[in-house]
Amino acid sequence: MTVAAEERELRDDELNGLELSARLRSIWQTPSGLLGALTSVDHKVVGRRYIVTAFAFLLLGGLLAILMRIQLAGPEKTFLSADKYNQIFTMHGSTMMFLFAVPVMEAFAVYLVPLMVGTRNIAFPRLNAFSYWMFLFGGCFLWISFALNVGPDVGWFAYVPLSSLQYTPTKRPDVWAQMITFTEVAALAVAVEIVVTVFKLRAPGMTLDRIPLFVWAMLVTSFLVMFAMPSIMVASTSLILDRLVNTRFYDSSSGGHPLLWQHLFWFFGHPEVYIIFIPGTGMVSAILATFARRPVIGYPVVILSLIATGFLSFGLWVHHMFVTGLPQLGAGLFTASSMLIAVPSGLQIFCWLATLWDGRPVYRTPLLFVIGFIVIFVLGGLSGVMVASVPIDTQVHDTYFVVAHFHYVLIGGAVFPLIGAVYYWFPKITGRMLSERLGRWNFWLAFVGFNVAFFPMHILGLIGMPRRVYTYTADMDWAHLNLLSSGGAVIFALSFVLLLVNVIMSLRSGTLAGDNPWNASTLEWATSSPPPPQNFDRIPVVKHRDPLWLDNASLPVVAGLSVERREMLVTSLAEAEPQIREASPEPSIWPLLTAIATSVFFIGSIFTPWAVLWGTPPMAVTLIGWFWPSGSKEDEE
Amino acid sequence: MPVRMRTVLVPFATLPLAACAGRQSVLDPQGLQSHQILNTLFIFLSLAAVVWIAVVIVLAVGMLRRKRSADQPLALHQPFERAAGRVVFILGLATLAIVLGLSIVSYAGQRTVFAKDEHALTLKIIGHQWWWEVRYEDDSPDKSFVTANEIRIPAGQPVKVELESADVIHSFWVPSLTGKMDLITGQKNELQFTAKSAGVYRGQCAEFCGLQHAHMAFAVLALPPDEFGRWRDRENQGASSPTDQLGKQGEQLFRARGCALCHTVRGTLAGGQLGPDLTHVGSRTTIAAGTLPLTPATLGGWIADPQHIKPGNYMPKMPLQSDELIAILHYLEQLK
């Protein structure tokens, strides 16, 4: 209160136009140079890095898939040894799940959510920077280990007792388990940031029923992350304890049990699928509204479906364990609960179909990928209903039928929307359009390649081909379909090469996008492309679910935020009424240093339990540095 | 209801798939259980096909139909919005009804597949990295015996297998007879099935169990009941003593060169417990858990260098002179 008596600091209601813009830019921008890059806490800078890194892991994981498809293209091939193949399929699954699918969705949220809710930065931006470094270090740790022939080889699910010290006396499972810890720390951090950003940093007037569907999807996803990830961290940490200090969580001869691992793993593992899929649905809703030229039909239905999916996803992990000898009635109940998730998923599909039915579709590349999504995902969902049935699952479990099913769900349900999202938001992120001509080629190659690669796998599973076999004999009749599948995989891979080419060419010479090239309705399109460091010169006021369609010419704004220091507007949870002004942190090197100290601690602790002891003081030091009071104006208040 | 649906569906549903059916195939059911599962599968498959085609048609029509002309995204036609809401609601209810119906169909199938027969022939299967130990147990010890990688059962009679693991988790799967069941360390699972007719049914480990998971197959040989009885009596006896000089030399080398440290040949001094029981190895059809057909050439190659054929398996390469190898091979071939 003493501030009011002193000279009032400069606020944005006293400036206008270019001067306001320049002032805000100078206080919000990331410092230049290497140090600037390492200290940045701008959600756009971190989000961009996150997206690029996750796509780099996609390329690596895809490369492994191609190696596997070469090995399986014919019977008894010796292109890969059993040992290499087992490492490669483990690396493929782990990379795609932990280093690509979950991070890339969170990365898009890190970039887009603050823009879509109309604020200047994500909540806890230093935690955000820390999260990125942890993700990067965890991913590099896994891949460097793989390059050193210490890549995990016990499957991305690492079932005990195979992954126990007795049956795998190498460091490989430890690398896997600790990579989990890295990526889970990163994922949990982002989840917390997204929830707080959505709950407390929305533009005034963006009531709960005006939040864009993509933001809703990321909010639900973030809650799933917070409830599911602790389960896998408990699992992987106790696995390391079993291996390193001889605890007996999973040792059946000492009262532990291997099935404990499976319960913990799948209690995480099944929601994990929805952690990947729900953001995909958010992207679909965003793209569909823009290109069908109308709001998505059934906004409340879609949101309730997302929330219902989130809840149901925690009640069906047992369908991964139907052949472990569970009680029959219990297993039957999990059949019903697994199939039940078809209801909210179906409702969303029906809403999208109705939207397309009424809209005036503009067939640009993002919409093509959404249409591809519907065709592929529905097929994957229906094969999911099949594998949910106990008797059917006893046959198709751990066969290529399941491989086909979850690639239809994950690639159809998440990667197709994601590539659509790349085409859709690339102009916002870079300021340039991707080539539409290459985009169409990209879509058709992806659509045809995907189906040729994965549809035959349904049949392969039914004619007896189990998963995770590095080879098969010629008399098994699997050769032709495998060759077909490998051919499809090459076409599918080409589509990603084309995407890469398109991105590189468009970065150099794509058409300039302008603020809102698609004439979309949400707030990220109200600022320039790429957005300035402060996102918006003035915080918008939202009076409608589709603010930019209401009247693009005059978006109302609020004024009164400082132009001398980083300041954001905090609003109430339900009604988004302005509550207080809140300082937002300056760039800092401490998140990076903390991440380095944490990484040393994590990696050291797979070699010696003493790392827990000597690894902690450096972490404490960096955390003290991180939270040291900076003597900013807000601290004084 | 499942039965009636099946008679309608099977004729056209099997046509395109029949060509793909092999001897290790869900689509080629030769057991009571696998047949029941395939019926359930066809019910699900046909419903899924109908739903998918319906969605694609609605999508296509929605894309192609003539649209309202105004390009005002927020100028919505309220009657359409209300009608769309109702349709979405009805379709949601329909989805709910379908999944509840399918849950019941599934549970009915499950009850049939896992129905238990008190009088089933019981045998115990123990999973090892990467082979199958098969124990025929009887109340009297002299009628109990052990074999490996080949499971002979009487056709037309219910069989119960008790499943255990000696090391990591494996999964017992003979798709043409029934669905799979895991072999889990520290847990006893069981599975019942009936082969409808005599024949050879290939099975394979379906849970990733380490380096040579791909080479952990086995065969179920369903024999006519009387033939099964004769086989069981024969198997029950110890190994026949070699008759010729080379065979005797082979038997002696089998012990002297370390084979007997891991392998048992009942009725001889060879009593190792780590590897498969070889008492009647000469009568089997494959070696190395279904990796190769059993011929003198493959068996000789296997003994000479098992690591070449199945890298990483736990049988070491033993230093043998070629004449020693020939003698051991000759001895094993006689163990019918």
- Tell me what pLDDT residue B237 has: 87
Which residues 14-73 of A have a C-beta within 8 angstroms of B? none
Q: Where are the alpha helices (DSSP H) in A572-632?
A: 590-604, 611-627
How many Å from the N-terminal Cα to the C-terminal Cα in chain B?
49
Contacts of A331 in chain B (CB under 8 A): 110
- The answer to whether residue A304 neighbours chain B at the CB level (below 8 Å) is no
Residues A250 and A261 sit within 8 Å (Cβ to Cβ): yes
B300's tokens:
């000789």
* Residue A453 in this model has a pLDDT that exceeds 80: yes
**CB-based contact, A474 to chain B, within 8 Å:** no
Same structural domain, A50 and A145: yes
Residues 6+ apart with CB under 8 A from A185: A131, A134, A598
* CA dist., res. A603 & res. A597, Å (int): 10
Instruction: Confirm whether A472 is domain-assigned.
Output: yes
- State the pLDDT at residue B19: 35
Whole-number pLDDT of residue B265 = 93
Nearest one of A452, A450, A322, A466 to A387, comparing CA atoms: A322
φ and ψ of B219, to 5 deg: -130, 140
Structure-token match 């198997």, residue found: B235
Over range A302-326, report the average pLDDT: 95
Same domain, A574 and A595: no
Residues A552 and A594 in one domain: no
Burial B77-98 (b: 16+ CB within 10 A, else e): eeeebeebbeebeebbeebbeb
**pTM here?**
0.94
* A546 closest CB neighbour out of B55, B73, B163: B73
Residue A34 forms part of a structural domain = no
pLDDT tens digits for A45-93?
999 999 999 999 999 999 999 999 999 999 999 999 999 999 999 999 9
Picking from A560, A585, A610, the residue at the C-terminal end of a domain is A585
Q: Is residue A36 a part of any domain in this protein? A: no
The answer to whether A390 contacts B88, with C-beta atoms less than 8 Å apart, is no
* A569/A525 same-domain check: yes
Q: Give the pLDDT score at A275.
A: 96
Region A155-164: mean pLDDT is 94
Q: Which residues contact B30 (CB under 8 A, 6 or more apart)?
A: B176, B177, B195, B196, B197, B199, B201, B222
Cβ count within 10 A of residue B144 = 13
**What is the reported pLDDT for A635?**
52
Range of weakest confidence among A334-338, A548-552, B106-110? A548-552
Contact flag B26-A354 (C-beta cutoff 8 Å): no
B110, closest residue in chain A (CA to CA): A391
Of A585, A607, A626, the position where a domain reaches its end is A585
Query: Would you state the pLDDT for residue A553?
Result: 63
The pair of structure tokens assigned to A258 is 């291997």
Tell me whether residues B204 and A468 touch, CB distance under 8 A: no
Q: What is the pLDDT of residues A500-513, one digit of tens each?
A: 999 999 999 999 99
Look at residue A454 and tell me if it is in a domain.
yes
Question: Do both A636 and A571 map to the same domain?
Answer: no
Nearest-angstrom CA–CA distance, A253 and A71: 38
Categorize the per-residue pLDDT at B15 as very low, low, confident or very high, splitting at 50, 70 and 90: very low
| Residue A76 CB neighbour total at 10 angstroms | 9
Single-letter residue type at A149: N
Q: Under DSSP, is residue A401 helix (H, G, I), strand (E, B) or coil? A: helix
Give the ipTM of the model, two decimals please: 0.92
For an interface test with A, give the residue of B51, B192, B208, B307 to mutate (most A CBs within 10 A).
B208
Across the interface, do B185 and A161 touch by the CB < 8 Å criterion? yes
Q: pLDDT class for A9, splitting at 50, 70, 90?
A: confident
Residue A552 DSSP code = T
Cβ neighbours, 10 Å, residue B170: 32
CB A296 within 8 A of CB A213: yes
Same domain, A629 and A567: no
Domain assignment present for residue A33? The answer is: no
Report whether pLDDT(B73) > 90. Answer: no
Same domain for A61 and A201: yes
- Residue spans of alpha helices (H) in A29-97: 33-39, 43-72, 82-94
Model pLDDT for residues B32-56, shown as the tens digit of each residue: 999 999 999 999 999 999 999 999 9
The one-letter amino acid at B128? H
The Cβ of residue A477 has, within 10 Å, a number of other Cβ atoms equal to 20
* Chain A residues touching residue B74 (CB < 8 angstroms): 294-295, 546, 549-550
Res B23: pLDDT: 79
pLDDT of residue B18: 37
Query: For residue A196, what are the contacts with CB-CB under 8 A and spacing of at least 6?
Result: A123, A124
**Mean pLDDT on A140-154:** 96
Domain total of chain A: 2
Across the interface, of B21, B100, B185, the residue whose CB is closest to A258 is: B185
User: In one letter, which amino acid is A381?
Assistant: G
Give me the percent of chain A exceeding a pLDDT of 90: 90
Compute the average pLDDT of residues A450-462: 97
Residue A116 belongs to a domain: yes
Name the DSSP letter for residue A120.
S
- Summarize pLDDT for B191-210 with one digit per residue, the tens: 999 999 999 999 999 999 99
* Same domain for A592 and A552: no
Tokens of A477: 């009749």
Q: What is the CATH number of the domain that holds A409?
A: 1.20.210.10
Judgement on whether residues A133 and A252 belong to the same structural domain of the protein: yes
Which of B42, B104, B207 is best to mutate for the A interface (most A CBs within 10 A)? B207
Which tokens sit at B48?
Answer: 């899924």
Do residues A586 and A631 touch, judged by C-beta distance below 8 A?
A: no
Q: At A145, which helix (H) or strand (E)?
A: helix A125-147
Residue A602 has pLDDT above 70, yes or no: yes
Say what the pLDDT of residue A634 is. Answer: 58
- Smallest CA–CA distance, residue B75 to chain A, in Å, is 8
- The set of residues, in sequence order, having a beta carbon less than 8 Å from that of B294 and lying 6+ positions away, is B284, B285, B286, B287
Nearest to A167 among B25, B202, B210 (CB): B210
- pLDDT on residue A636: 52
Asked if residue A226 and residue A107 are part of one domain, the reply reads yes
Q: Is residue A599 in some structural domain?
A: yes
Read off the pLDDT of residues B205-257 as tens digits, 9 standing for 90 and up: 999 999 999 999 999 999 999 999 999 999 988 888 888 999 999 999 999 98
Average pLDDT estimate for A579-603? 95
| Listed range (A552-566, B8-22, B229-243) with the worst mean pLDDT | B8-22
Nearest to B312 among A82, A351, A390 (CB): A82
pLDDT at B70 over 60: no
Average pLDDT of the segment spanning A458-480:
94
pLDDT-derived band at B8 (thresholds 50, 70, 90) equals very low
Q: Say whether both A7 and A140 belong to one domain.
A: yes
Contact A118, A212 (CB under 8 A): no
Token pair of A439, please?
């985009």
Average pLDDT estimate for A129-143: 97
CA distance B176 to A463: 9
For residue B75, is pLDDT > 90? Answer: no
Torsion-angle region of residue B122: left (phi > 0), alpha (psi -120 to 50) or beta? beta
Residue carrying structure tokens 């082969």: B195
| B108-124 tens-digit pLDDT | 999 999 999 989 999 99
Please state, as a whole number, how many other Cβ atoms lie within 10 Å of the Cβ of residue A176.
27
**CA A341 – CA A224 distance, rounded (Å):** 15
Residue bearing the bigger pLDDT, B77 or A268: A268
Residue A30 lies in a domain: no
Of A265-279, B85-99, B136-150, which gets the smallest average pLDDT? Answer: B136-150
CB contact under 8 A, A466 and B173: yes
Q: Average pLDDT of B298-320?
A: 92
Asked if the Cβ–Cβ distance from B74 to A385 is below 8 Å, we say no
Map out the domains of chain B with their CATH numbers.
22-52+96-234 (2.60.40.420), 245-333 (2.60.40.420)
Residue B183 makes CB contacts below 8 A (sequence gap 6+) with B125, B126, B127, B163, B164, B165, B169, B170, B171, B172, B189, B207
Residue A457 sits in the same domain as residue A603 = no
What domain range includes position A635? 586-637
Is A395's pLDDT higher than 90?
yes
Q: How far is CA A602 from the centre of its chain?
A: 23
Is the pLDDT at A351 greater than 70? The verdict is yes
d(C-alpha B209, C-alpha B269), whole Å: 32
**What is the per-residue pLDDT for B324?**
92
Query: What gap in Å lies between CA A470 and CA A85, rounded to an integer?
Result: 6
Q: Residue B13 pLDDT > 60, yes or no? A: no
